Amino acid sequence: MFLAHQPWLLERLSVRLDSRVDAEDLASETWTQVLGHPQPHGIRQPRAFLTTVAKRLLFHFWRRRDLERAWLNALAQMPEAVDVSEEDRVLLREALERIDTALDGMSLPARTAFLHSQLDGLTYSQIAGRMGVSVMTVRRHVAEGVRRCYLATTSDE
């Protein structure tokens, strides 16, 4: 089966990937999964089976590649590393611990909405769209987070 269908599979993947090396890697992974099939010799339509396996691998490949690109873009946009004094590190750590404690009692949706608002800088309508809730619900969640953080900072004084 390998000898009969490997050139076809490799050509099909090469066209979709524009990279012979990536196509060879995905073809190898496809054949590895074929070998993991309970009865690889019992596959009646090898090209259909190979296409299904290769498409799944291709989608995973594209998703990983997109994630890697997004990560590299985020890294490229980050400012150069800044030296922070040990005293500032301690203060930052303490502040983060207070915020974490303050948010600890919140429901997961409320905490998610608050963090999207404060860390990601998303608008309430963007958060509502991502979470599938109303803008009013997002407002309540964010307000709860702000209230908890305020109480956490004022209780120490």
Tell me the DSSP string of 7-51.
HHHHHHHHHHHS-HHHHHHHHHHHHHHHHTSS-GGG-S-HHHHHH
Token couple for 75? 């890294």
Do residues 27 and 10 make contact, with C-beta atoms less than 8 angstroms apart?
yes
Minimum mean pLDDT among 45-54, 92-101, 116-125, 130-139: which range? 92-101
Do residues 38 and 17 make contact, with C-beta atoms less than 8 angstroms apart?
no
Domain boundaries, the chain: 2-77, 94-154
Stated pTM of the model? 0.47
Closest CA to 134 of 149, 142, 155: 142
pLDDT in tens, 57-101: 998 888 888 878 887 777 677 777 666 688 887 887 787 777 777
Domain 94-154 fold is Arc Repressor Mutant, subunit A (1.10.10)
- Which residue type, as a one-letter code, is found at position 76? A
Q: What's the CA dihedral at 143, 146, 151, 152 to 10 degrees?
A: 140
Do residues 128 and 137 make contact, with C-beta atoms less than 8 angstroms apart?
yes
What is the mean predicted confidence (pLDDT) over 113-122?
88
Do residues 31 and 18 make contact, with C-beta atoms less than 8 angstroms apart?
no
Token couple for 38? 């309970």
- pLDDT value at residue 152: 78
CB atoms within 10 A of CB 114: 24
Beta strand extents in the chain (DSSP E only)? none
* Residue 82, phi-psi category: left (phi > 0), alpha (psi -120 to 50), beta (remainder): beta
pLDDT in tens, 3-48: 888 999 999 999 888 889 999 999 999 999 888 888 777 788 889 9
Sign of CA dihedral 79, 80, 84, 89: positive
